[in-house]
């Protein structure tokens, strides 16, 4: 998961760096490992800076003051590669005799291997293995093929790519382009901000990044669409390819997006609240001293909905440390139970999902140590039982405890999960209640990682059978 932000101002003397900083701060939840910024003055010169770390540390006042330019893009990412090489960070700067541009993306290209092999066959050399570099190399090739028509080049790029991607591209001449995959897995929106003497066009992964800047009219970049933005021209939208069935990743509503964002026209906070209400309808808690406690932050809205529907008192029982700077730190550095709230209570603990289960296991132990009578875990998302090639957090089945448990203990899944995390009881959201809460049908939302139509147990059996046949 990443956050991308771009802007374009019709006042050529205006510097966009400070506004990009604000936009990236609003998207910090989408990536805390690295960030960067690129700007241009529409004079053929692109200036860029990127590094590992949070926005406030990397883009400090000294860095921002060195930037000028009325067009720019920015990126926050969760790149887990150990390499410190700048090519693994974004924005990615591409410069050749034919074209110069800076590019940022959120998502993953699923036909990366095939495209890279094709490009290498044509003599193209790569400096790394990032998907954004692949897209840049493809753009370079198509730009030459289509007579340096940048719009047609990007349309053909969208046609060639498969996977989940939202991309912003800024040319050295000050043009800004935004495009999104034909299914619309990852979110992307744009808007206009009118101020005295300036008209500013903005693009961002989430509407919350535009809200904080005062944008009034915000629109989604449609799946398979290329949006063309110029400092002193009207915004133009071009259909690259027809929209395909599938739709937005459901995890945006569960965990990825800020609750104050609107995704596909749907307020995220309202969806999470209804997820909590629907979860309570599936549940029975018969304790006089029970309280509903969220795991902050993404569990909070669901916990409020659960509390309202069940009539059980909502209380903040876990204090989050908002001033930690390290990304990888012990859970005790992130959360601390409030003993005065927890002691002697039966805790209905609300979280958005279970991935590895390790963090949840530690939190449950912390609550017991703080004096909780019992801990009853309620999860607002159905079990994550399948891996996802486009979501970095879900790429490996080995890191998904629900997937492994489903395969090994299909008929006793819930009890095995409860035992593993150390809870007294465990209840997951049903897929039917999840779809009802979101308000999108199955053709407009990707549910692949939670859907049992894949029959994980059978799929794994067939995979082993295939391996055995190859060995023999």
* Spatial contact of 143 and 99, defined as CB atoms under 8 Å apart: yes
Which residues have a Cβ under 8 Å from the Cβ of 73 and sit 6 or more positions away? 4, 5, 6, 7, 20, 37, 38, 91, 102, 103, 104, 168, 169, 170, 176
User: Quick one: 154 exposed, middle or buried, by C-beta within 10 A (0-12, 13-18, 19+)?
Assistant: buried
Catalytic residue list contains 2: yes
Axis crossing angle, helix 401-408 with helix 413-421, rounded to the nearest 10? 140
Axis crossing angle, helix 131-145 with helix 112-121, rounded to the nearest 10? 50
- The alpha carbon dihedral of 269, 275, 281, 284 has a sign of negative
Nearest C-alpha neighbor of 433 from the set 307, 274, 295, 299: 274
Q: Which one-letter DSSP state was computed for residue 137?
A: H
**Which residue among 2, 8, 446, 449 is the active-site one?**
2
User: Quick one: 64 exposed, middle or buried, by C-beta within 10 A (0-12, 13-18, 19+)?
Assistant: middle
Give the C-alpha separation, 253 to 258, whole Å: 9
Give the C-alpha separation, 23 to 5, whole Å: 7
Nearest C-alpha neighbor of 378 from the set 240, 459, 276: 276
* Spatial contact of 303 and 314, defined as CB atoms under 8 Å apart: yes
Annotated catalytic residues are 2
């Amino acid at each position: 998961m990443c956050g991308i932000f771009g802007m374009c101002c019709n006042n050529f003397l205006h510097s966009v760096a400070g506004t990009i900083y604000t936009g990236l701060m609003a998207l910090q939840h989408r990536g805390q490992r690295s960030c960067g910024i690129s700007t241009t003055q529409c004079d053929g010169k692109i200036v860029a800076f990127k590094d590992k770390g949070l926005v406030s540390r990397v883009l400090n006042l000294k860095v921002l003051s060195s930037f000028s330019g009325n067009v720019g893009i920015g990126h926050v990412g969760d790149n887990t590669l150990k390499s410190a090489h700048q090519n693994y960070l974004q924005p990615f700067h591409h410069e050749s005799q034919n074209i110069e541009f800076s590019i940022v993306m959120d998502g993953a290209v699923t036909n990366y291997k095939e495209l890279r092999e094709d490009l290498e066959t044509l003599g193209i050399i790569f400096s790394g293995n990032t998907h954004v570099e692949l897209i840049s190399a493809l753009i370079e090739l198509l730009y030459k093929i289509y007579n340096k028509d940048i719009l047609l080049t990007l349309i053909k790029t969208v046609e060639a790519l498969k996977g989940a991607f939202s991309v912003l591209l800024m040319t050295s001449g000050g043009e800004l382009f935004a495009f999104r995959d034909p299914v619309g897995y990852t979110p992307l929106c744009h808007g206009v901000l009118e101020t005295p003497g300036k008209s500013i066009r903005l693009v961002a992964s989430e509407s919350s990044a535009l809200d904080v800047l005062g944008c009034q009219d915000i629109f989604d970049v449609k799946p398979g669409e290329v949006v063309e933005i110029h400092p002193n021209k009207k915004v133009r939208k071009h259909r690259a390819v027809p929209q395909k069935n599938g739709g937005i990743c459901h995890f945006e509503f569960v965990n990825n997006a800020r609750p104050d964002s609107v995704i596909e026209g749907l307020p995220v906070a309202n969806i999470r609240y209804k997820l909590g209400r629907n979860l309570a309808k599936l549940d029975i808690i018969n304790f006089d001293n029970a309280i509903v406690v969220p795991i902050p932050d993404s569990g909070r809205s669901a916990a409020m909905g659960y509390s309202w529907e069940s009539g059980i008192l909502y209380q903040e029982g876990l204090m989050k440390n908002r001033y930690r700077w390290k990304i990888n730190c012990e859970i005790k550095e992130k959360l601390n139970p409030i003993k005065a709230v927890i002691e002697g209570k039966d805790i209905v603990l609300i979280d958005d999902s279970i991935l590895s289960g390790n963090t949840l296991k530690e939190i449950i132990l912390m609550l017991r140590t703080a004096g909780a009578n019992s801990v009853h875990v309620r999860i607002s998302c159905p079990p994550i039982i399948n891996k996802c090639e486009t979501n970095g957090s879900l790429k490996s089945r080995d890191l998904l405890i629900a997937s492994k448990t489903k395969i090994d203990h299909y008929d006793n899944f819930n009890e095995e999960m409860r035992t593993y995390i150390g809870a007294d009881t465990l209840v997951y959201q049903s897929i039917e209640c999840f779809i009802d809460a979101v308000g999108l049908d199955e053709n407009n939302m990707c549910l692949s990682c939670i859907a049992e139509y894949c029959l994980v147990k059978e799929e794994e059996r067939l995979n082993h059978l295939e391996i055995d046949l190859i060995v023999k």
